[in-house]
Structure 1
Amino acid sequence: MLKSKIKIVAMFIAFAVVSCQTYQSVTRKTSGKNELLDQKDWKIDTLRKDVIWYHYASTTDPEFANQNVNVVSFDPKARLGHAVLAYEKEKDSLSVFTSKIPGLLAGINATYFIEKKDSADYMHLRLKGKDLQQVKVPKSSIYWWKHQGMMTFNNDGTQFDIQFSPEDFATVKSENIITGAPMLIANYKPIGLTFADTSGLNLDLKKLHYEHYLKHQGVRHPRTAISVTEAGKLLLITVDGRNAAAKGMSAKELTKFLVRYFNPKSAMNIDGGGSTMMWIKGQLPNGIVNYPTDNKKFDHYGQRKVETALFIK
């Protein structure tokens, strides 16, 4: 009788262990399929099998209340589309960019201006193997940080990498380079947490030059960023700001946000402020789904003319 009871108990324990292992395995597998780690306060729309549009808005989250964030995820491994980087020396709004390139599905403004008298040489831009702009500013320049990171990608627009910029861009073999700053995440390390961390500093940020990295990245602004996940997906990110309903983020806050919700392999801040724009095909009134600030109104019409834009086609 005792042996029988012991056998039953042993069988029960074995079953429980197997069940627990099976549950954990299924849980990990299911979680791995969904790149968004926490869906609370998010709306999710599938634009195409390989393109997902995520929209975040919350008034109650203890860390990210009153933020308005749009993220487009593109999976090149599905082989249904590709990324396109567009450059216009004469500048255009994002919605005008889209009218010149057929077949676009979504896009954002890209990186800092290169056609600017006082700062044109702090960016590196290479398209299809041709260097249109090269970094020339010395390390002592106020703009030293603005090319801290770079995204490289192939001509097919299907393979992406984000990493620190080299001392010499001639050593980079990629056909396409676009620089930006600051780096937010590098090989899963959230370096954006410390790049322009102003907490505890006895410093009047208002007295700093606008392009000083602490003032530029240490306070809340609208932001645009790009990111690459472990699975090789490209994330296009916009954060609205300068409004009670959309306060904007510092580089530190954006880093925390991306780690919390996507935990990507790498991420880089690009041109933000009044340049921050996201366009989605078919969305009314003009495809712009965020709230650009150049008209100082919380609507979809305050677009700024920019030089570069990154699209999914």
Structure 2
Amino acid sequence: MLRVSYLLSAALIFSACSGKRGISQSAVTELKEKTGWTTDTLRKDVIWYKYSSKTDKQFANQNVNVISFNPGAGLGKMVFEYKKEKDSLSVFANRIPGAIAGINATYFIEKKDSADYMHLRLKGQDIQKVKVPKSSIYWWKHQGMFTFDDEGKQFDIEFSPENFSAIKSKNIMTGAPMLIDNFKPVGLTFADTTGKDIKKLHYEHYLKHQGVRHPRTAIAVTQEGRLLLIAVDGRNKEALGMSAKELTAFLQRFFNPKSAMNIDGGGSTMMWVKGQPFNGIVNHPTDNKKYDHYGQRMVETVIFIK
């Protein structure tokens, strides 16, 4: 009897001490499948999921980082930052007191050839409005919008309206494409390249931009109101990257969020976690064309949890 009690106590102690590694109980509820995943609990309301698999039939040779933030815990908030002059994600992080984790956000606002496809509203001020006509090759790039309150605790992702002035939210960030809308995997068909020759298409054509594999950054909102920040590595044999279709299937399979939207990816894809090596960059940015943690791109918009 004494030996049984000792073993039980030891098991409880081990469980308590290992809560920040492996699959925690709170993560089990959110993560639909555990194979291929490890987790770190950065704070009670912030979980860092890491996926890597060489053998998964659907997602082999992929490397994905996901941050889950639960605003309902009342411990922190989301912070959105915009800087016209651009900075790397790790530099942004150093300017945000209490930052725990973050990603690059959406497509560039200050881009001469394509700035007018974006809508960005912060604290009630429209910093950038959509001006391109529907005939523009860039029109699709504001298909979805992420709205959030000034407190950084309530979020929504939905299709963009024809007229953004009709949206009451004080904060709007557009992106594209929509991946999941009210649990419907709309991203599965957005850029279906089946039977199509896309080699001669303009790089910004939606089929070429979203129909092939690249590093990807995305955001998602769960039924419970949690915010997911997603960074998919790519452009390397160790991490092939995903198309919009594949990213949609990945999120639906492992997290089943209520809504999700792709944002700026490719060389812009970056994720930062406090206290980690390489200035906190935990994914493999590709601007230096190497599979390491040093290829950060200078970006204008970022999303952090603090």
**TM-score (norm. length: structure 2):** 0.91
Separation in structure 1 between the aligned mates of residue 180 and residue 120 of structure 2, nearest angstrom: 21
How far apart are residue 285 of structure 1 and its match?
2.0
Q: Are residue 210 (structure 1) and residue 217 (structure 2) matched?
A: no
Aligned-residue RMSD, C-alpha: 1.1
Separation in structure 2 between the aligned mates of residue 31 and residue 76 of structure 1, nearest angstrom: 14
Matched residue SS, 2:141: coil
- Equivalent residue for 2:263? 270
Matched residue SS, 1:60: coil
| Structure 2 unpaired stretches of 5+ | 1-24
Separation in structure 1 between the aligned mates of residue 94 and residue 187 of structure 2, nearest angstrom: 35
Q: Are residue 39 (structure 1) and residue 34 (structure 2) matched?
A: yes
Separation in structure 2 between the aligned mates of residue 258 and residue 218 of structure 1, nearest angstrom: 17
- Equivalent residue for 2:75? 80
How far apart are residue 70 of structure 1 and its match?
0.3
Q: Are residue 283 (structure 1) and residue 292 (structure 2) matched?
A: no
Match of 1:66 among 45, 61, 68: 61
**Matched letter for residue 81 of structure 1:** G
- Equivalent residue for 1:242? 235
Match of 1:131 among 97, 117, 126: 126
- Equivalent residue for 2:288? 295
- 8 A contact 2:49–2:66 mirrored in 1: yes
- 8 A contact 1:31–1:37 mirrored in 2: no
- Equivalent residue for 1:223? 216
Cα shift readout 1:250-287 (whole Å, capped 9, x = no counterpart)? 00000000000000000000000000000000000210
Separation in structure 1 between the aligned mates of residue 265 and residue 27 of structure 2, nearest angstrom: 31
- Equivalent residue for 2:193? 198
| Structure 1 unpaired stretches of 5+ | 1-29
Query: Identity rate of aligned residues, in percent?
Result: 75
How far apart are residue 206 of structure 1 and its match?
2.0
Q: Are residue 181 (structure 1) and residue 176 (structure 2) matched?
A: yes
Separation in structure 2 between the aligned mates of residue 108 and residue 151 of structure 1, nearest angstrom: 15
- 8 A contact 2:177–2:261 mirrored in 1: yes
- Equivalent residue for 2:302? 309
Match of 1:260 among 253, 258, 264: 253
Runs of 4+ aligned residues of structure 1 deviating over 6 Å after TM superposition are 30-33
**TM-score (norm. length: structure 1):** 0.89
Q: Are residue 171 (structure 1) and residue 171 (structure 2) matched?
A: no
